[in-house]
């Protein structure tokens, strides 16, 4: 996640990551959801970059099939799922869409997933010369 946000200030990106977490990570975490994210991580290529402990935790939750009720375990699993999601095009587009919307003062768009995706994909499609945030 830090490699994606090299030129953005920490507090600005932390707020954007929280908005992306609220929009993209499911409210109810169970084994099926985690299994889908494991498949996504393998497909994207982030699975091998996760620590062995993180991979073991995700596998254990995927095999468990129950709903994650523990607040601490839920926060840890949400952080791992967010890390996986931010390495996909959808996750990066959402992140940059949130950053562009907050930088332009368009706070009403922060609840619209489709608008944020459009802003983010538009930003990612620009040549590097035109990529300015804030």
76 or 64, which is more confident: 76
Reference 83, options 49, 118, 127, 121; nearest CA is: 49
Q: What is the pTM of this model?
A: 0.82
**Residue 1 and residue 17 in contact, taking contact as beta carbons nearer than 8 Å:** yes
> Over 70: is that where the pLDDT of 4 sits?
no
For the chain, give the mean pLDDT.
85
Share of the chain above pLDDT 70, in %: 87
Give the C-alpha separation, 63 to 51, whole Å: 19
CA distance 3 to 13: 12
């Amino acid at each position: 996640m830090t490699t994606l946000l090299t030129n953005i200030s920490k507090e600005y990106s932390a707020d954007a990551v929280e908005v992306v977490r609220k929009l993209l990570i499911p409210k109810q975490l169970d084994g099926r959801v985690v299994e889908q994210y494991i498949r996504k991580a393998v497909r994207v290529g982030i699975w091998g970059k996760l620590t062995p402990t993180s991979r073991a935790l995700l596998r254990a939750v995927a095999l468990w099939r129950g709903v994650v009720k523990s607040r601490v375990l839920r926060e840890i699993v949400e952080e791992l799922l967010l890390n996986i999601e931010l390495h996909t095009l959808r996750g990066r587009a959402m992140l940059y869409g949130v950053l562009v919307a907050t930088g332009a003062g368009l706070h009403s768009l922060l609840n619209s997933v489709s608008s944020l995706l459009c802003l983010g994909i538009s930003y990612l499609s620009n040549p590097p010369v035109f990529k300015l945030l804030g």
